[in-house]
Amino acid sequence: MISSRHNTIFDGVDRGTVLLYTLLVLVGCISIVSASFDDASTDIFSFSHYYMKQLVWVGVAWIAAIVVLLLDDRFYHMFSYPAYIIGIVVLVAALFFGKEVNGAKAWFEFGSFRMQPVEFVKIATALALARVMSDYSFSINSAGDLFKVGMVICVPLAIIVLQNDTGSGIVLGSFLFVLYREGLNKWLCIPILLIAALFIVSFLLSPMTLLMMSILVCTLSEAMMSGEWRSRIIYLAGLMGISILFYLLMGLIAPGAMDLYHCLLSVSLSSLALVAVYAFRTRLMNIFITMGLFLISMIFLPTTDYIFNSILKQHQRDRILSFLGIISDPLGTDYNVNQSKIAIGSGGFAGKGFLHGTQIKYGFVPEHHTDFIFCTVGEEWGLLGTLTVLGLLCALVFRLIRMGERQEEPFGRIYCYSVAAILLFHVLVNVGMTIGLMPVMGIPLPFLSYGGSSLIAFTILLFIAVRLDASTRQFSLKPKN
Amino acid sequence: MSERAAGFARMRILQAVVVFIFVLLGARLIYIQLFDSRYKELAEANVLYHEVQYPPRGEVFDRNGEFLVQSQACYDVMVVYREINKAGFDTTRLCSIIGISREKLDKELANARMRPRAARLVSNFISKEDKLRFDECNFEGFYTVYRTVRQYPRKVGGNLLGYVSEVNPEMLKRDPSYKVGDYIGMSGVESAYESVLRGKKGVRIQEIDTHGAIKGSYLKGAYDSLPEPGKNLISTIDARLQLLGEELMQGKVGAAVAIEPSTGEILMMVSSPTYDPDELVGKQRGNNYITMQNNKQHPLYNRAVKARYPPGSTFKLVQGLIGLQEGVLVPSNTYPCYQGYQVGKLHVGCHSHSSPLNLVEAVANSCNAYFCYVFRDILDNRKYHSTKTGFDVWKEYVDSFGFGRKLGSDFLGEGKGYVPDRGFYDRRYRGAWNSLTVISLSIGQGELGCTPLQMANLAAIVANRGYYYIPHIVKKVEGQDSLDHRFYEKHYTKVDAKHFEPIVEGMWRGVNVAGTSRRAALPGLDVCGKTGTAQNPHGRDHSTFLSFAPRDNPRIAISVYVENAGFGATVAVPIASLLEEYYLTDTIKRPDLLEQMKTTTVYYPSYDK
């Protein structure tokens, strides 16, 4: 049986995906050469250069890819929970025993090698998510199952945020993409996205505005889901009216004790009890989910200041504020993004040519071989280069979606979508930050950025998808023989 | 909808999300890489370091080839913080060599520390000798850059030559070809001939890294250039005459200008009080400048081209010439003068002399009454039907002598003087005025204002019998065959040459036979001259003298104007006479007079307020 399924390990492997992968890694190597080439160095093949180190990682990555292809697809199914648990344990261990790099306690150090476990946790989480959601009895619209999914995503996310590696943590939020594909009500996706946006925007708005927006978003999206408009609008009006009355009353009893914000907050929170009773009697589960979201945002929003000032580090605060345009400091926080834009912008249409970039070579762009590797592409290869790289990445994401869609089993589909989501999010945030569309979050550009952990992890992530796809294709091809 | 179809619809939406994200990134890339050119400039600003090589500034010679302005090598001391010897160095010695205080050095080093690999200016105007001492000590991290500094061997012509200073921010905005740290001529010749004197900076473009360290030549030096030295100028000034002029004007406020009538070349231009041009050079420039600015006699104000003085009696020459040309006066006309000119209640006073006088005698004796008659005849000429039209005609004549406008010399900041026009009097007297109202113009008083340069030009016009060349201060620019063609054109007045003879005769008689200018007489030189004593609201009369010599083929025309020195003959005449003597004979045979005039000081209460 096994021998019949594995004629060669390349049977059913999606050649297009492998080609795209190879091209991206190649572009990455060329860019790392540009970013770290030193005219002054006598020995250009010395392993002290980043590009020579990266070549070793490319070799390791190929071996990893072949190993991934050699393993049976059922192995991944079985291995998903253990991998997830190991991932969590390693993350927690890193939290205690890890090495701090750039303010994030997210690294293990073995001799001269450093490893970032979070890169591998993405794989484990994707597998675990696929496993949970592919259960026979799983229903995305049941609150209990949704809670399980939430736990799978939020536990590693919370630990990663505790490691001060907020950027990598937020990557896990991209699984919303998968949840939507698997049938999550879109009226639930929208409040999640809006609340995430509100969290960022909350630095700009007063708590009162935020509270009112949360109430509106939650109530109206619930109304969208149930189609019951009348009662929801009456509820809203009642909430506002009672809050104002309460405020006036408080003004008479104890002037100055409560402002309008606290009145509205207490009234809306106490109304939740009534809403819960209503939801229980009408058996509308969506109301419970919306209520949960509202409560989460209530925990978040009034404590935004606390989160902002205590959990985020100074540099992260500055990045967010600078991105939102609240502070502007071209030589300080804005410096990285400005220099990055200068490097890319100065590339023009055709670029300055291989090894002829100046901004990267002379160190104006920080982290130019890791997180800002896209600058090298932009400066030396110009718009042609950047659009080519974006095209390759876009093609890969589309390829993954297609691979997901042709899976027989939900497990494979969910996994492929997870990979697509992670890639898409990385590209959006990484490329976005180099051109000033996104705040600076320290996450690498898949396959291009220098770094063993990242390259090997993304290779494994991708090739598991290829492996799962290959099995499906073998099955579907077999009967024709 | 089946589950499969629903999933398919959701896939489509997600694909749309993917496309949207990539299109967003792509569009932004297209914008910043193709349409926003500012990033290319910023990239160059990041990475290119323009190492400027300064050219020596052009030098200025006088008409006899003597140095007026020399360019002397001096050095800027720069530091690269990272290369400073960490073990420390002899700071006391460094400070003493480059002439700065310890505090200043510490401050500069603290600033240099911000960009430790970039070069930073520590001190400037280091002399060649100090530079050699500096080189001997071999301070690691410190080096010198070649610049030039102005030096004035004769120490003359402060306002004439002008001074040079670092460009200020407004100039940088006006002219982008200047960069911070460049020098620019601020006044006088330095400013007027800035474009030829400055030369062209050379540049070595080098690539630097983010720390400011030099990584190599940009494009193998394709855009590098060598400095082109500034061009030398030969000035029309006679340095020795200028020196004598400045010495004679010591202790007096005023101006003396001498012109070669046959060319319009300015031989001498003294504005008094003047200053030692070396004071506006080097480290002490700023302090000295402020001291001079606060000086109540305004040594930085170039009176020779800017001041507006009443010409006084010297203007009678113009009245006489206009009268002759207009035909209202013939040289044989005589007019009476009994201590002045009297019409009704109006009285213009005059000094005592015989009466009546003809034109020649009136010029020689500077009779006020005579020219009141002439002036009124010009204005009230029947053929113009009205005094006001007559006045317009008169003004046209006056303008043709170069009054009331800039002469167009190569000297920047030339004043216009002032000649009132008909509209001025119409406004002042609401239209009700006649030739008597403006009678003070006849003797060069009233609203009339002339610059000393315009008065010297008048002397040149009379010397030339009717024309002038635009006065100028540069004879030749190195590498140029000629000056602007306007300096070679004869500018004719509206008075014919034949009418000049009686005026010249009067000027000659005034000096050589009998008249107001007797002290100007020089045996064998046939000096001609006209004194002036100008009333003014600031105190005593201004003393002025307008002269040229010799009578035939004149070689020098001169105007001396001394504020508040009283009668023209007492101060202005001997000064002009000594200058003419020195210029024409190279010697001075009247050492007592020379000494007397040098030590004469005029008391100026109005400047001490």
Asked if B17 has any chain A CB less than 8 Å from its own CB, the reply is yes
Banded pLDDT at A334 (limits 50, 70, 90) = low
Asked if B32 has any chain A CB less than 8 Å from its own CB, the reply is yes
pLDDT value at residue A480:
40
Q: What is the rounded CA–CA span in Å between residue B355 and residue B303?
A: 38
pLDDT value at residue B548:
95
From chain B, the residues in CB contact with A431 under 8 A are 25
pLDDT value at residue A297:
74
Asked if B14 has any chain A CB less than 8 Å from its own CB, the reply is yes
Q: Which residues contact A193 (CB under 8 A, 6 or more apart)?
A: A176
Of A341, A359, A424, the CB nearest to B47: A359
From chain A, the residues in CB contact with B19 under 8 A are 394
Residue B360 CB neighbour total at 10 angstroms: 23
pLDDT at A284 over 80: no
A49-61 pLDDT per residue, tens:
788 888 999 999 9
Banded pLDDT at B226 (limits 50, 70, 90) = confident
- Please, are residues B522 and B580 in contact by the beta-carbon 8 Å criterion? yes
A186-200 pLDDT per residue, tens:
777 777 777 777 666
B299-354 pLDDT per residue, tens:
889 999 999 999 999 999 999 999 999 999 999 989 988 888 888 888 888 888 88
pLDDT at B590 over 80: yes
pLDDT at B193 over 60: yes
Which chain A residue lies closest to B13 (C-alpha atoms)? A181
Range scoring the smallest mean pLDDT among A158-167, A232-241, B165-174: A158-167
Asked if A357 has any chain B CB less than 8 Å from its own CB, the reply is no
From chain A, the residues in CB contact with B210 under 8 A are 362-364
B348-403 pLDDT per residue, tens:
888 888 888 899 999 998 899 999 999 999 999 888 888 999 999 999 999 999 99
pLDDT at A385 over 80: yes
Asked if A355 has any chain B CB less than 8 Å from its own CB, the reply is no
Classify residue A151 as left (phi > 0), alpha (psi -120 to 50) or beta: alpha
Q: Which residues contact A197 (CB under 8 A, 6 or more apart)?
A: none
Closest CA to A84 of A131, A135, A150: A131
Asked if A345 has any chain B CB less than 8 Å from its own CB, the reply is yes
A149-184 pLDDT per residue, tens:
989 998 998 888 788 777 788 888 899 899 988 888
CA–CA min distance B474, chain A (Å): 49
pLDDT at A479 over 60: no
pLDDT at B90 over 60: yes
- The residue among B105 and A391 whose pLDDT is bigger is A391
Asked if B23 has any chain A CB less than 8 Å from its own CB, the reply is no
Asked if A390 has any chain B CB less than 8 Å from its own CB, the reply is yes
- For A358, the enclosing helix (H) or strand (E) is none
pLDDT value at residue A1:
39
Of B26, B34, B46, the CB nearest to A364: B46
pLDDT value at residue A359:
80
pLDDT at B104 over 60: yes
pLDDT at A474 over 70: no
Banded pLDDT at B5 (limits 50, 70, 90) = confident
Residues 181-240 of B with CB under 8 A from A: 207-211, 215
Banded pLDDT at B580 (limits 50, 70, 90) = very high
A63-102 pLDDT per residue, tens:
999 999 988 888 999 999 999 999 999 988 888 887 777 6
- The residue among B424 and A289 whose pLDDT is bigger is B424
Asked if A157 has any chain B CB less than 8 Å from its own CB, the reply is no
pTM of the entire predicted model: 0.61
For testing contact with chain B, the best of A362, A399, A434, A445 (most B CBs within 10 A): A362
Does B29 sit within 8 Å of A378, measured CB to CB?
Answer: yes
pLDDT value at residue B172:
84
Closest CA to B542 of B216, B308, B311, B335: B311
pLDDT value at residue A205:
63
Average pLDDT value over all residues in chain A: 82
Of A341, A398, A428, the CB nearest to B32: A341
Q: What is the rounded CA–CA span in Å between residue A219 and residue A232?
A: 7
Range scoring the smallest mean pLDDT among A41-45, B120-124, B160-164, B599-603: A41-45
Q: What is the rounded CA–CA span in Å between residue A99 and residue A115?
A: 10
Give the count of Cβ contacts less than 8 A between chain A and B: 115
pLDDT value at residue A95:
83
- Please, are residues A347 and A372 in contact by the beta-carbon 8 Å criterion? no
Does B25 sit within 8 Å of A427, measured CB to CB?
Answer: yes
Does B39 sit within 8 Å of A398, measured CB to CB?
Answer: no
Asked if B12 has any chain A CB less than 8 Å from its own CB, the reply is no
pLDDT value at residue A407:
87
Asked if B2 has any chain A CB less than 8 Å from its own CB, the reply is no
- Residues A115-134, mean pLDDT to the nearest whole number: 91
- The residue among B577 and A330 whose pLDDT is bigger is B577
- The encoded tokens of residue B210 equal 């983010």
Q: Which residues pair with B560 in a beta bridge?
A: B256, B545
pLDDT value at residue A324:
59
Asked if A352 has any chain B CB less than 8 Å from its own CB, the reply is no
A307-323 pLDDT per residue, tens:
666 666 666 666 666 66
B282-295 pLDDT per residue, tens:
778 888 888 888 88
Closest CA to B252 of B569, B516, B572, B594: B572
Q: What is the rounded CA–CA span in Å between residue B372 and residue B134?
A: 72
pLDDT at B480 over 90: no
pLDDT value at residue A8:
66
Task: State what percent of residues in chain A have pLDDT above 90.
Answer: 29
Q: What is the rounded CA–CA span in Å between residue A169 and residue B194?
A: 65
Q: In Å, how far are A156, B72, B165, B190, B500 from B187, measured between CA atoms?
A: 75, 20, 10, 6, 37
Does A177 sit within 8 Å of B210, measured CB to CB?
Answer: no
